[in-house]
Structure 1
C-alpha cells in the first residue's frame, strides 16, 4: 500500500507547504510514509486537474489518496463528482481525509474482510455528504460574490481585482522563452485559465500585446 498526498491550493506558495506538513505529520503518527505528493492550483469545481488524475493513474488497488480536506478533492457538481468517484472506485483507491475521521482507519490494514468493507461503505457515504456540502459552500460563496459585485457596480464603486503585474510579467517572460505551460503553472501557482488569458497577450511576433481587462 502506497500513500499518495494530493494538495490543491489557491496558490502553491501560500497553502501547499502548510498542508503538506499536516499530511506528513498525520502519516508519521501512523507509521506511514508518503510515497509521492501531487500539487496543483486548479479549481476544485473543475474536473480539469491533471495532477489528480496523474495520482490516480499512478495508483494501484489498495493505495491511499491522502488529502487535507474533502473540499481539496472536490467542489464538483453532482455529475462530475460521480465521474470522479467512479474513477476512484474503479482503481480501488482509498480516500483518507484529515477532516473525515471515519476515513482514518482506511489507512491501516484490517484483520478481516467484513471490517474493511464496512469501513469503506461508511466512509463512502460520509465522503459523498461532505462533497455535497463543499459544492454548496462553493455555490453560496459565488452567489454572495456576484451579489456584492452587482451592488458595488450599482453604486459605481466596483473596480475589479487588481492585476498582479509583477507575477504576470514574469509569466509572460516565461512564455516568450518557450517554457511549457506545466512548468509555468508549477513555478508560479497561477491557474490554467489565467495562463491562457496571459498567453493571448502575446502577438504572433512574440511581443506583449495590450492588456486584456
Structure 2
C-alpha cells in the first residue's frame, strides 16, 4: 500500500508543508509510511493543480491519497468536484482525510465487503464536506467583496499591505547567498514568495547596471 500525501496552501505567503508533521504522525500511528509528498500553492477552487495531477498520475490502484482536510483537496464547484472525483475513482485511489474519521478505516487492510462499505460511506461524506468547503469559499469571497466595496466607498481601501520587514529580510538572505530552504525555515514563506523577491532584486540590479 503506497501512501501519497497532498499538501496545499492557497497563497504564496502560506506554507503548503505546514501540515506535513501531522500527516506523518497519522501514518506512523497506523504502521504506514508516506512514499511521497506533493505540495503546491494553488487555490482549492481551481481544478488544474499540477502537483495534484502528478500525484494521481503516479498513483496505482489501492494507493492512499492522504490529506489534512477535505478542503485541502477541494473547494471546487460541483461540476469540477465531480470531474476530480471521476479521475480519482478511475485511478482507484482511496482518499483519507484527518478531518474525516470515516475515512480512517481505509488506511488499514479489510475484507472486500467491509472495504466497499467504508468506501461508499466515505464517498458520501467527501461529497458533503466538499460542498461545505465550496460554500465556505463562496461566503468568504462575498464577505471580502462587500468589505472592499464599503472600504472603497469610504475612501479607506489601500489594497493588501506588503510585509516589508519580512521581504527585506528575505532579500538580505538572498544577497548573502542563503538557500531557499534556509530562507523558508527562517521566515516560513513559500518558494514562490522567495522567487518573487529574487526577481525583484535581479530587476533592480539590471536597472542599476543600465544606469551605470
Sort the TM-score into its range (normalised by shorter chain).
0.7 to 0.9
Please tell me whether residue 73 in structure 1 is matched to residue 87 in structure 2.
no
Q: Structure 2: how far apart are the matches of 1:47 and 1:59?
A: 18
CA RMSD of aligned residues (A): 3.3
Aligned to 2:135: 136
Please tell me whether residue 85 in structure 1 is matched to residue 85 in structure 2.
yes
Task: String of CA shifts for 1:45-68, please: whole Å, max 9, x gaps.
Answer: 001210001000000000000000
SS class of match (2:95)? strand
**Residues 141-156 of structure 1: matches in 2 within 5 Å?**
141-156=140-155
Cα distance, 1:27 vs structure 2 = 0.3
Q: Structure 2: how far apart are the matches of 1:35 and 1:12?
A: 25
Cα distance, 1:163 vs structure 2 = 3.6
Q: Structure 1: how far apart are the matches of 2:118 and 2:75?
A: 24
Return closer, same or farther for 1:12/1:158 CA change in 2, 3 Å cut-off.
closer
Q: Structure 1: how far apart are the matches of 2:137 and 2:114?
A: 34
Where structure 2 has 5 or more consecutive residues not aligned to the other structure, the ranges are 175-188
Task: String of CA shifts for 1:101-132, please: whole Å, max 9, x gaps.
Answer: 00000011103x11111110000000000000
Return closer, same or farther for 1:190/1:67 CA change in 2, 3 Å cut-off.
same
| Cα contact 2:8–2:17 (8 A) shared by 1 | no
Q: Structure 2: how far apart are the matches of 1:207 and 1:121?
A: 60
Aligned to 1:122: 121
Aligned to 1:158: 157
TM-score (norm 2): 0.78
Cα distance, 1:18 vs structure 2 = 3.4
| Cα contact 1:4–1:37 (8 A) shared by 2 | yes
TM-score (norm 1): 0.78
Task: String of CA shifts for 1:74-112, please: whole Å, max 9, x gaps.
Answer: 00001110110000000000000000000000011103x
SS class of match (2:19)? helix
Cα distance, 1:10 vs structure 2 = 3.5
Q: Structure 2: how far apart are the matches of 1:128 and 1:11?
A: 25
**Residues 196-207 of structure 1: matches in 2 within 5 Å?**
none
Bigger Cα displacement from structure 2, 4-13 vs 131-140 = 4-13
Moved segments of 4+, more than 3 Å: 10-18, 163-168
Cα distance, 1:9 vs structure 2 = 1.6
Q: Structure 2: how far apart are the matches of 1:158 and 1:14?
A: 23
Where structure 1 has 5 or more consecutive residues not aligned to the other structure, the ranges are 175-187, 209-213
Q: Structure 1: how far apart are the matches of 2:207 and 2:45?
A: 34
